[in-house]
Amino acid sequence: MIKRIILLCLLLQIVMVKAQTQVTNLTTEGLTNPLGIDNLQPHFSWQLIAKQRNTMQLAYEIKVAESETGFNKDLLWTTGKVISDQSIHIPYNGKPLEAGKRYYWQVRIWDNKGKLTTWSNVAYWQMGLLKENDWQAQWISPGYEEENDRPSPLLRKEFKINKKVKSATAYITAHGLYEAQINGKKIGDKYFTPGWTSYKKRLQYQVYDVSDMFTNGNNAIGVMLGSGWYRGYFSLGNFKDIYGSDISLLFQLNITYTDGSTETIISDGSWKSSTGAVRSSNIYAGEVIDARLEKLGWATPEFNDKDWSGVKVQSFPKNILIGTYNESVTRHEKFIPKKIFTTPKGEQIIDFGQNLVGWVTLKVKGEAGQKITISHAEVLDKEGNFYTENLRIAKAQDVYILKGGKQEIFEPHFTWHGFRYVKLEGFSGELKPEDFEACALYSNMEKTGSFTTSNELINQLQHNIEWGLKGNFLDVPTDCPQRDERLGWTGDAQVFFRTASFLRGVNNFFVKWMKDLAADQFPDGSVTHVVPNVLADFERGSSGWGDAATIIPWNMYLAYGDKRILETQYQSMKNWVNYIQSQSKNNLWKQGRHFGDWLFYNVQDDLFGDSAITNKYLIAQCFYAHSVQLLINAAEVLGKTDDVKAYNLLLQEIKDAFLKEYTTANGATVSDTQTSYVLALHFDMLPEKLRQQAADRLAANIRRYDTHLTTGFLGTPYLCHVLSRFNYTDLAFELLLQKTYPSWLYPVTKDATTIWERWDGIKPDGSFENSDMNSFNHYAYGAIGDWMYRVVAGIDIEGDGIGYKKIRIHPHIGGDFNYVSADYKTPYGKLSSNWKINGNRLNLKTEIPPNTVAYINIPTSSLEGITESGKNLSAIKEIEIVEKKENIVIVKAGSGIYEFSIPYTVKK
């Protein structure tokens, strides 16, 4: 009997522990256990797991220690009990942090159920090198004279270890790209490091824990370098060596032994240099590897380097070195051939079934000197032949020269390609699927969103949007990944940011990129078209492109709730607005080179005025007002009251000038296009009394084009949002589901697996648009994903609840959808909205993360018949009925899973 009672008590205790709130997912600077932090006040965040509904944090306590077991001894910092519901972006405020040192932290919270949680699991972060003199390493370059094709240098250093290693940290950066090894094993899982930044002002270094990579006795470090973004032919036009002609390494290895002693191995004049199998490597051209020249074991201590050259010690600056916070490029999905075939021209082709960015790994056996060329393409032409004209001058070829004998495995090191198809030349024998594998490479950001519906074409569209992000978020947000471009176009990035924030955790990715935008911004405040800037000086200052300086920081603040992005970028935002003001006369921005509504619907031989041309200066005026409004928003958050007052006055003058210059007395815009009305309405350029008539004109325009959109890059992101705002959601659904050109689904009907640059990249007759500008992986039009998440699924921020502290669930039922399901990982945890029509009932299921509150908009005009988890809504004590509108009942609920069943009549 006593045993039964004890067992029952234990089981009850286990159940109670599981039911209690728990603290989980601790992050430092938004990263899990990061290395190389150089912020002296890193920010801490965590999430809660709670079984009970309406769980909120009331207080927290953080402890920071210098060892994993040091929490019961002398602490480096403790907050004590802090009365606050804040669980994200809490700054460290303890004793000064030291370079290279690892720190450990825990947190516990008090919830509104009267419970104190147990301490969380221990998390850690490690500081980077904080001052210039923390770098003992010297910059080194190869000591030999480089050949014209610039074979990738190999740099090596041997050293001895006669003690047991406790910990070891490697700090590495380069002019160019690097791949580093210790004793023949790759350091880390990153590619294309140190990444691409505004190299002359900001150069990242990476930090690696290499504690377990050494042997007792002789050891070796080997580093191979590639030109990458730093040098060689890159950018639009015949630009070469934009950042420099050298290729160089900075390497520092700090070792701590178990006896407490330390040692530092650095790049210096004692290193050796040579070349190996990689004979040339260029982002656009591809890579040439001659396996006959491979130096086997060159990164191991057994290798004989007596014939190698020395190195040159360089005096390049170290005061521009910065830690890496954005997630580096890593390997991801693998694809096996979907089809192997011969084209009408006799070309040997492999179809991997997905337009992806990365490379092909090849297994081959052949004769010494045999040359195999792999060419890459996104599409086939209408006859079924390999098509590469849209790559322009990018060769996009990898060439492998065999050593001969045993089976050999080839893949590039310092280049990548955008492709679905590859062409094989020089390959003898049968092409076997098992000998080829395509590997996707992109920045390793956490997947945060998913969106599925009952419509398979829409599901494919969502797939294409996701793969557009994957292919173009390769260390910077590029416009396209395949042709001789691959640049960080500001306009593309700003229109897609909000969608990107649903799909992936892009905060650190864009923090880094926005700092480069500010670094490359001109003294007059103008913003370059691409970031980092590799175009000529005159390439700057376009509306909708330069406005990335204001649009992205504000939307980052909304999505992630971190005020630091506004603090960091505020001067850049202000400089951009002041630049526009300096270019304006009578508050009208009517000069400068602007891209306008890029790639809008354009009819060739336009005899009847069907092309949707929107006045570029009308567009510029709208974005001028929008940037001023966002600057005002940021100034309010940061408490800059003088700026708020001054720019509010300016904003009214800009809007008054817009009305006078670009609208009639009855509210028609001078261009009378979809984009003109969309921008005027979305940016509130019109007075309240003229807005609905403008929306009516927009709807009429859409009907005039037989329910097709005609917008380009700048109008498309806001089109459906404006329609929904002004009671035309049904029309927005019709646009979304339109299958013929121009529409979002037209490329889907043409077997697209990514978003196209043009609405008709492949025309209905199978021919192509102009090859000079016709990418088939170009994410800008994927901005419709934002509307699908925020309106169709209904996941959004409520009011001032930045970072999803306050949530709005407001699904819109329409189109031919029977169900829509969307999940999103907010900074506080999983948020979901799933709706399904089931006969004469609408089922709405939503999950709200702990420590947040949600306002759920139930699509019905009456409380009658609404149930939640099988009970009458009015009987659910955790739910507060806030407001009843004409067709909406708004309820307030805290964390938990809610399942509503609502009377519903299907629209006919």
The pLDDT value recorded for residue 707 is: 98
Residue 644: alpha-carbon gap to chain centroid:
31
Determine the Cα–Cα distance for residues 423 and 337; give it in Å rounded to an integer.
12
Helices (H) and strands (E) in the chain — how many of each?
Answer: 14, 48
The pLDDT value recorded for residue 9 is: 44
Q: Is the pLDDT of residue 11 over 50?
A: no
Q: Is the pLDDT of residue 133 over 70?
A: yes
Q: Kindly state the average pLDDT of the residues 294-307.
A: 96
Torsion over CA: 734, 736, 738, 741 (sign): positive
Residue pair 863/874 in contact (Cβ under 8 Å)? The answer is yes
Determine the Cα–Cα distance for residues 416 and 358; give it in Å rounded to an integer.
5
Per residue in 440-492, pLDDT (tens digit) is 999 999 999 999 999 999 999 999 999 999 999 999 999 999 999 999 999 99
Q: For residue 682, how many other CB atoms are within 10 A of its CB? A: 17
- Residue of 158, 287, 485, 734 marked active site: 485
* Strand ranges inside 147-213, DSSP E: 153-161, 165-175, 177-182, 185-186, 203-204, 206-209
Residue pair 491/478 in contact (Cβ under 8 Å)? The answer is no
The pLDDT value recorded for residue 38 is: 97
Per residue in 150-192, pLDDT (tens digit) is 999 999 999 999 999 999 999 999 999 999 999 999 999 999 9
Q: Is the pLDDT of residue 2 over 90?
A: no
The dihedral region occupied by 872, where left means phi > 0, alpha psi between -120 and 50, and beta the remainder, is beta
Residue 249, H or E segment = strand 248-257
Percent over 70 (pLDDT), the chain: 98
Q: Please say if 146 is a catalytic residue.
A: no
Q: Please say if 868 is a catalytic residue.
A: no
**In DSSP terms, which residues pair with 125 in a beta bridge?**
103
CB within 8 A of 83, min separation 6: which ones? 58, 59
Peptide bond preceding 532 in cis form (omega within 30 of 0) = yes
Per residue in 320-359, pLDDT (tens digit) is 999 999 999 999 999 999 999 999 999 999 999 999 999 9
End-to-end CA distance of the chain: 67
Q: For the chain, percent helix, then strand, then coil, each to nearest 5?
A: 25, 30, 45
Residue 648: alpha-carbon gap to chain centroid:
32
pTM score of the predicted model: 0.96
CB within 8 A of 546, min separation 6: which ones? 490, 526, 527, 540, 576, 579, 580
Determine the Cα–Cα distance for residues 505 and 446; give it in Å rounded to an integer.
5
Q: What does the buried/exposed string (b/e) look like for 205-218 if buried means 16 or more CB atoms within 10 Å of the residue's CB?
A: bbbbbbeebbeeee
The pLDDT value recorded for residue 13 is: 46
Residue pair 21/113 in contact (Cβ under 8 Å)? The answer is yes
Q: Is the pLDDT of residue 69 over 90?
A: no
Q: What's the mean pLDDT when you consider all of the chain?
A: 96
- Residue of 179, 287, 757, 847 marked active site: 757
Percent over 90 (pLDDT), the chain: 93
Per residue in 844-884, pLDDT (tens digit) is 999 999 999 999 999 998 899 999 999 999 889 899 999 99
Q: For residue 256, how many other CB atoms are within 10 A of its CB? A: 17
Banded model confidence at residue 4, pLDDT cuts 50, 70, 90:
low
Determine the Cα–Cα distance for residues 384 and 380; give it in Å rounded to an integer.
5
Nearest 5°: the CA angle 318, 319, 323 is 85
Collect contacts of 749-754 with beta carbons under 8 A, ≥24 apart. Answer: 749/457, 752/355, 752/464, 752/776, 753/353, 753/354, 753/355, 753/420, 753/463, 753/464, 753/467, 754/355, 754/464, 754/467, 754/468, 754/471, 754/778, 754/779
